[in-house]
Amino acid sequence: MLSVNLIPPSYFEQQRVRRLVRVFSALLAVVIAGMLAAMFFFIVQTNRANEELARVEPVAQEVERLKSEASSLRSEVGPIQARIKFIEETMDYNVAIIPLLEELAKYTYKKITYTRVALSEDRGTLTIDGWAPGIVDAGRYLMNLYRAKHLFSSVAFSGVPGYRTGAAGQQGAGGEQVSSFLQGTQLGFSFTATCRLVKPLTPPAPPGGAGGGAAGGTPGAPGGAPGAAPPPGAGPDAYIPPPPPQR
């Protein structure tokens, strides 16, 4: 049986167009709904962020204020800490010569008597004025000083009778002539040993860059070092540190 389609093609075209319109309308509705949901979500998040910012902002301002106060306090404490450090270094410096003298005593011959032990102005040289009963004793003492290489980088010895060092005449520590071996009731001669320190006793620098001479005085300044022996004939009550064993 023969069938004849009398429906025009435009009808089917309109049907397809209607279906496409419905599909695109649905897609558009989904897109609009998604955009509205995203906008609502971002509005909620923005409101929460603003609330959190309003809550945290006073705390941040307080933190900044505390930081400013801490910086101000550090600027005030800094000079105080510098002064404290200078005082501690000065206290250490004022007793720094004691270990040096203790080591010197270990290398001092038992028959040698010290009349003065002093540091130079640059705190790098130790000058020792003393008394030796004889040339042999002075030689033994000088050899001991040469052995103290951890203390002295160089040693110069003057005052030995009959030994000229370039001066017009040999003189003792106080300027007296040493051509005679007799001083008071003791036989011998005075000498001067100039010892260059391996580690100079450098004074601490005070805050502000002032000179190091204000560090509380020079250890071992003229007038005698702590524990140094008195000159010959100082009396029976004079303190003389026990000498080390003969080397």
Q: pLDDT tens digits for 106-123?
A: 999 889 999 999 888 888
Do 129 and 167 sit in the same domain of this protein? yes
User: Last residue of some domain: 61, 94, 127?
Assistant: 94
Q: Is residue 170 part of a domain?
A: yes
How many helices (H) and strands (E) are present in the chain, helices listed first?
A: 3, 6
Tens digit of each residue's pLDDT (9 = 90 or more) over 18-75 = 888 889 999 999 999 999 999 999 999 999 888 888 888 888 889 998 998 888 888 8
* CB-CB contact of 170 with 161 (8 Å): yes
Least-confidence region, from 44-58, 129-143, 168-182: 168-182
Instruction: State the Cα torsion 134-189-98-126 to the nearest 10°.
Output: -110
* Structural domain harbouring 122: 97-202
Nearest to 190 by CA among 126, 105, 115: 115
Q: Is residue 150 part of a domain?
A: yes
Alpha carbons 176 and 85: distance in angstroms, whole number = 45
User: Last residue of some domain: 67, 94, 121?
Assistant: 94
Q: Is residue 71 part of a domain?
A: yes
Alpha carbons 36 and 224: distance in angstroms, whole number = 97
Tokens standing for residue 109: 């011959």
* CB-CB contact of 186 with 233 (8 Å): yes
User: Last residue of some domain: 64, 94, 124?
Assistant: 94
Alpha carbons 134 and 95: distance in angstroms, whole number = 33
Do 143 and 188 sit in the same domain of this protein? yes
Q: Is residue 237 part of a domain?
A: no
Looking at residue 163, its amino acid is: Y
Do 75 and 146 sit in the same domain of this protein? no
- Name the residue with higher pLDDT: 214 or 3: 3
Do 101 and 198 sit in the same domain of this protein? yes
Looking at residue 85, its amino acid is: K
Do 106 and 88 sit in the same domain of this protein? no
Tens digit of each residue's pLDDT (9 = 90 or more) over 184-209 = 455 788 999 999 999 888 888 887 76
Do 110 and 197 sit in the same domain of this protein? yes
pTM of the model: 0.48
Q: Is residue 32 part of a domain?
A: yes
pLDDT at 209: 60
Alpha carbons 30 and 101: distance in angstroms, whole number = 97
Do 170 and 193 sit in the same domain of this protein? yes
Q: Is residue 40 part of a domain?
A: yes
Q: Is 138 exposed, middle or buried (0-12, 13-18, 19+ CB in 10 A)?
A: buried
Do 175 and 151 sit in the same domain of this protein? yes
Do 121 and 85 sit in the same domain of this protein? no
Do 21 and 87 sit in the same domain of this protein? yes
Do 103 and 193 sit in the same domain of this protein? yes
- Counting the structural domains of the chain, the total is 2
Tokens standing for residue 134: 């004889």
Q: Is residue 245 part of a domain?
A: no
